[in-house]
Structure 1
Amino acid sequence: MAPALGSSDSELFKFASERAPPIPQRKRERTSLFLNALVPSAFAVLGVTGLIGNTPLLRINSLSDALGVEILGKAEFLNPGGSVKDRVALRMIDDAERLGLLRPYTGSRIFEGTVGSTGISIATIARARGYDATIIMPDDVAEEKVKVLQALGAEVERVRPASIVDKKQYVNIARQRAKNFGRLDSIDESNAINRPHLIPSSTDSVLVSTTSSHVQFEDDPKENEEFLTKPRGYFADQFENRSNFDAHFEGTGPELWRQANGRIHAFVSGAGTGGTIAGVGQYVKSMNENVVVALADPEGSGLFNKVKHGVMYDRKESEGTKRRHQVDTVVEGIGINRLTKNIELALPIIDDAFRITDAEAVAMSRYLVKHDGLFLGSSSACNLVACVKLVRRMGWSEGQTVATILCDSGNRHYSKFWNDDYLRKANIPVNPAIVEELLLPLPPLESR
């Protein structure tokens, strides 16, 4: 008997399913695979880490329509931690657990030096996985990032900006904090019992210490309960950690390629640690060697010079001779004056580079809010300025596809990048007309 009018959805579904013809097993499997490919989140995900990745690919309508091409942005700001760095943090922690370097719910602590986004991602995942987090960061980063970290329960230490050769530079301090994790405050510091032991890892960049007194023993360490349950200090080192590259080569890159149906003419990205442009760039090049990979580099960074001229920096830009102040660049998250292992993986596949000024990045962010309703952070704005410049340089106007990363939203940049008073004091204009001029139709070739 058919269900009565007003029956519940479950009653209607049961009635329909009981009368539906049986579906062959093989067809059911194919249908399931198809639906899972279309809707990867058709089932409940396992906690906050299940929300990381599979971000949408977004067409930037205003830029695409003005240029006659497809400008596509991977909406990484929709990750639960609010940025592309969620992928890196998750992969670093996953790999550390897989290698036995970290064990959850043992009182272990993750240490990282960061300008903010990676720290927020680590703090988010650490909370979900049963770890504590200590984040060391320069004291000139946007205040919003500090507040988010503190809300997530991370211990935040702010230090003055310094060169990587300075032992007080934020990355070096994070390494030292991890090395000294578990040290007891005793009168006799020469006592070996009070000194944490280092656990061998697969790379010299990642550092893991343990308070266990049983590091070197004949038995299998997996069977030593005292060793397994003691707290550890883990220095993640996003700049040198290969997991950074792997997160993008095995995750972001394949997602982007699939979402664009394999139709990508160029990929544009900034570089802070270098993992994104290296991992995604290597992947898209492996699928089509003709894809142009371009770097978006802010003021004060040496990577543009490295790509274009083969040297890392002009003398005036050398890290160690130029102290970083807020006015050097308002862009956070990308730009660096040293070669990391992840950047070294990127250099062979970078075809072009664009130096993006603060004024251009600010102009792009305001333009996108006005025309697309997109509220993006500074690195995302840099990437999109570089997309426009690349399209102009290549002379494209026939529907070519340029993909980039929308790293984070503007909601962690209120105090600097999205603060007109701050920009005014730093002599950075807020002028969307800069982007409007970049988008003006090019004159005929014969008149150029």
Structure 2
Amino acid sequence: MWLNNILETIGNTPLIRLNKITKDIPATVLAKVDYFNPGNSIKDRMALKMVEVAEKEGKLKPGGTIIEGTSGNTGMGLALAACVKGYKCIFVTTDKQSKEKADILKAVGAEVIVCPTNVLPEDPKSYYSVAKRLGKEIPNSMYMNQYDNLANRQAHYESTGPEIWEQTEGKITHLVCTAGTGGTIVGSAMYLKEKNPNIKVWAIDVYGSLLTKYFNTGEIDMNEVHPYISEGFGEDFVPQNYDMSVIDKFEQVTDKDGAVMARRIAKEEGLFCGYSAGSCLQGLMQLKSTLTKDDVVVCIFHDHGSRYVGKIYNDQWMMERGFLDVKTFKDIVSGRSSQRLVTLEPTHTVAEAVEMMKKYDIEHIPVMSNGDSIGAVSENGLFQKVFSNHPEIKTATVESVLEPAYPVVAFDTPVERLGSLITKENGAVLAKDEKGEYHIVTKYDVIQSLAK
């Protein structure tokens, strides 16, 4: 039996038990992995619902244009609906969202407009304001407004909540979900609490969002708002999709902890998820002391890691923000006794090179010319040449026995990367420090650093 179009594949996503990261939690912890939706995120559910409701209400007419402010995932869901139903799409996003998200939206035919992140919602340059303006200016268009459009939470009341209830056979005791527009957590919670009012609903927020304080005090405090790196959740206003009465607790997670946990989920559980999944599970880990062996916890994993390959799954990006605690070339150099780099010039003799190796107890020496690395000599390379019918080689110049220059890497290159660059033929790597001075790392250095 076939399906009529891609929209019929939305929903019925798997519930998968987590085993390694949560091994110290007495409860059963399950992940609702919604990147199995065709647009690789849970937003497919509400995007389709918003379109269907708009059509039913006569607000979206044939050949019309769908306009939305989106971090990327809602846009993808709307774009899929537009492809099938024959609409055009214009999506407004922020400059903090990953480039991959914008590229994916363009790939499915959408126009993407990028706005600054660090402005207030009411600022004319904000992505909220631009989307609203375009909705008024463009004929036969509709601004979907996922934040205040109650079809958002209705989608999860009708699909996500019932799926979780059925998949857990009604045994769910806790729902854990990151809080953004409010649609997923509120819609799912409304359904689940109708089935069992004792189910606890925990909303995971990010530092820099005002939602947590609003939940705790009822106060909208703009002093709580500051820039954050986490994507897809947290807000600087309170969307109309929120009904705080169905939420039992808000817990905030740092940008770093959410990113690091997402990487752990990929490596330890085999689930290649997005930023919010890491934050969701991190939030649960912060609250795990209240769980018992009889609890069944469902965590919502919203989207796929492919949206973040240039960010949380990129070592350089993580290190630049201080999120990745890894040893680097710089750490190796800083951790050994200070010693200037021993180098040779092309005019040095092989005998002089051998003498330097003995004097400094080293096997690899870069050959420099005018401050640049042009080649290298190694103990093993010279040994091979001496015993290959070249007894006169000791009087030859280094230039005549040059081996390929050692690779030059960034000073903050991770140790794991260095290990892949050092081979039998290439015994070391070089890097320049902040002052522009060269340093060397050998296979021995890498082994020593990993042993510590």
- Using the alignment, how far apart are the partners of 2:320 and 2:221 within structure 1? 27
> Partner residue of 2:261?
364
Alignment of 1:167-186 (within 5 A): 167-182=124-139
Alignment of 1:266-415 (within 5 A): 266-313=174-221, 315=223, 317-318=224-225, 322=226, 324=227, 328-329=228-229, 331-343=230-242, 345=243, 347-392=244-289, 394=290, 396-415=291-310
3-state SS, counterpart of residue 300 of structure 2: strand
Is the Cα–Cα contact under 8 Å of residues 41 and 302 in structure 2 kept in the other structure? yes
Question: Which structure would you say has the larger RCO, counting Cα contacts within 8 Å and 6 or more residues apart?
Answer: 1
Is the Cα–Cα contact under 8 Å of residues 71 and 387 in structure 1 kept in the other structure? no
- Using the alignment, how far apart are the partners of 1:123 and 1:140 within structure 2? 21
Is the Cα–Cα contact under 8 Å of residues 90 and 122 in structure 1 kept in the other structure? yes
> Partner residue of 2:31?
73
Offset of 1:236 from its aligned partner?
0.5
Which of 287, 305, 319 aligns to 1:424? It is 319
- Using the alignment, how far apart are the partners of 2:23 and 2:324 within structure 1? 26
Q: Which amino acid aligns with 2:77?
A: S
> Partner residue of 2:166?
258
Q: Which amino acid aligns with 2:200?
A: V
- Using the alignment, how far apart are the partners of 2:285 and 2:166 within structure 1? 23
- Using the alignment, how far apart are the partners of 1:258 and 1:89 within structure 2? 23
Is the Cα–Cα contact under 8 Å of residues 313 and 337 in structure 1 kept in the other structure? no
Which of 14, 24, 43 aligns to 1:85? It is 43
1:64-89 deviation line (CA, Å, top 9, x unaligned): 43312111111110100110000010
- Using the alignment, how far apart are the partners of 1:272 and 1:169 within structure 2? 17
Number of aligned residue pairs? 325
Which of 31, 44, 55 aligns to 2:13? It is 55
3-state SS, counterpart of residue 158 of structure 1: strand
Is the Cα–Cα contact under 8 Å of residues 387 and 402 in structure 1 kept in the other structure? no
Alignment of 1:198-277 (within 5 A): 232-277=140-185
Offset of 1:129 from its aligned partner?
1.0
Structure 2 unaligned blocks of 5 or more:
327-452
Structure 1 unaligned blocks of 5 or more:
1-42, 183-231, 432-448
- Using the alignment, how far apart are the partners of 1:111 and 1:267 within structure 2? 31
Q: Which amino acid aligns with 1:165?
A: E
The RMSD of aligned alpha carbons is 1.6
> Partner residue of 1:110?
66
Offset of 1:430 from its aligned partner?
4.6
1:353-378 deviation line (CA, Å, top 9, x unaligned): 21111221122122222221111110
3-state SS, counterpart of residue 245 of structure 1: helix
> Partner residue of 2:364?
none
Q: Which amino acid aligns with 2:311?
A: K
- From the CA coordinates, give the structure whose radius of gyration is larger: 2
Q: Which amino acid aligns with 1:54?
A: N
Cα 1:180–1:61 shift into 2, 3 Å: same
Identity of aligned pairs, percent? 34
Q: Which amino acid aligns with 1:332?
A: E
- Using the alignment, how far apart are the partners of 1:99 and 1:181 within structure 2? 19
Task: Report the TM-score, using the length of structure 2 for normalisation.
Answer: 0.69
- Using the alignment, how far apart are the partners of 2:261 and 2:315 within structure 1? 14
3-state SS, counterpart of residue 67 of structure 1: coil
1:264-294 deviation line (CA, Å, top 9, x unaligned): 1111111111111110111111111111111
Is the Cα–Cα contact under 8 Å of residues 271 and 335 in structure 1 kept in the other structure? yes
Is the Cα–Cα contact under 8 Å of residues 28 and 293 in structure 2 kept in the other structure? no
- Using the alignment, how far apart are the partners of 2:222 and 2:252 within structure 1? 13
